[in-house]
Amino acid sequence: MATPLASRLMLAIGLVALALVVLNQVTAPRIDPPLERAAVLASLLAVVLMLVAALWQRIQPPAAPRADLKGREGLELAADLPEPLRRELAWGSRMLLTATPAAVVLLQSGSQSLLRRGLLADTEFCLGPICQQSLERQKAISLVDLSLYPGRVEFEPLLSDLPAVVVQPVGEEAVLVLGGWSPRCFSQADLLWIGGWAEKLIDAGVPAWAAQAQGAAAAAGEAPQTS
């Protein structure tokens, strides 16, 4: 991982300053108390600069490289969505893909995908234990490094080898799932943005429409067959 430029520059300045202090002491014709005090102060300042460089590296770690994700670029919307919802989903998903490190955005209600956008796989996504847990708790779940979680197989149908995933409930029935380009790529600001759009989708009527659509599908499945 590459070290930030400011951190490298500060470390270099500290090392050069310390080397100059040592060189000055070695080449001085006479070592007297004022020179010793100056050397101690200069050495301390050089060490402080190197410590700041080290702390900078820890506070602002370099971003992880993007994973080489495979998929086709696309936008898929449920065919029977009302036009206002279609416009809202198209606008919001575009903003998430441009304003956050998301590679794919999915809005799922039960077994139906209301929205898929970004890098798409040719497999159907089904709500698994992690998505169900997010719905039950009504809280977002952020998996910062998906390779560390045994349940990562749940998100393989979304897109293979995703490094990070955020699951955000949208009401009682639907979940918003975002797959990121790299581990720990979603910041707190990104999570607030995702949560804010989920609230907007609730106000736009996504949960009510999803419940109505599931009820209609269940009624159609239970209808008696006629010959």
Q: Within a domain: residue 143?
A: yes
Average pLDDT, the chain: 85
Query: Mean pLDDT: which of 57-71, 169-183, 208-222 is highest?
Result: 169-183
Which of the four pLDDT bands, split at 50, 70 and 90, describes residue 28?
Answer: confident
> In this structure, what token pair is assigned to residue 205?
């009527």
Helix axes 206-222, 188-204, angle to 10 degrees: 60
- Residue 10 and residue 79 in one domain: no
Q: Within a domain: residue 41?
A: yes
DSSP 100-130: SSEEEEEEEETTEEEEEEEEE-SS-----HH
Express as a percent the part of the chain with pLDDT over 70. Answer: 88
Q: Within a domain: residue 225?
A: no
**CATH classification of the domain holding 181:** 3.30.450.40
Dihedral sign from CA coordinates of 186, 188, 189, 191: positive
Count of structural domains, the chain? 2
Q: Hey, is 71 helix, strand or coil? A: coil
Find the domain containing 15 and state its range: 5-59
pLDDT computed for residue 162 by the predictor: 93
- Residue 79 and residue 126 in one domain: yes
The pLDDT of 122-142, averaged and rounded, is 94
For the cut 80, the answer to whether the pLDDT of residue 180 exceeds it is yes
56-86 per-position pLDDT tens digit:
766 555 566 778 899 999 999 998 889 999 9
The pLDDT of 115-136, averaged and rounded, is 94
Q: Within a domain: residue 65?
A: no
CB proximity list for 94: less than 8 A, separation 6 or greater: 117
- Residue 105 and residue 185 in one domain: yes
- Residue 99 and residue 159 in one domain: yes
- Residue 52 and residue 81 in one domain: no
184-202 per-position pLDDT tens digit:
899 999 999 999 999 999 9
pTM of the entire predicted model: 0.70
Q: Within a domain: residue 49?
A: yes
- Residue 43 and residue 139 in one domain: no
For the cut 80, the answer to whether the pLDDT of residue 153 exceeds it is yes
The pLDDT of 170-189, averaged and rounded, is 92
The pLDDT of 154-165, averaged and rounded, is 93
- Residue 84 and residue 196 in one domain: yes
Which of the four pLDDT bands, split at 50, 70 and 90, describes residue 227?
Answer: very low
The pLDDT of 92-110, averaged and rounded, is 94
Q: Within a domain: residue 159?
A: yes
pLDDT computed for residue 191 by the predictor: 95
180 and 103 Cβ atoms separated by less than 8 Å = yes
Which of the four pLDDT bands, split at 50, 70 and 90, describes residue 174?
Answer: very high
- Residue 24 and residue 131 in one domain: no
| HSE-up (13 A, CA, CB side) for residue 127 | 20
pLDDT computed for residue 15 by the predictor: 87
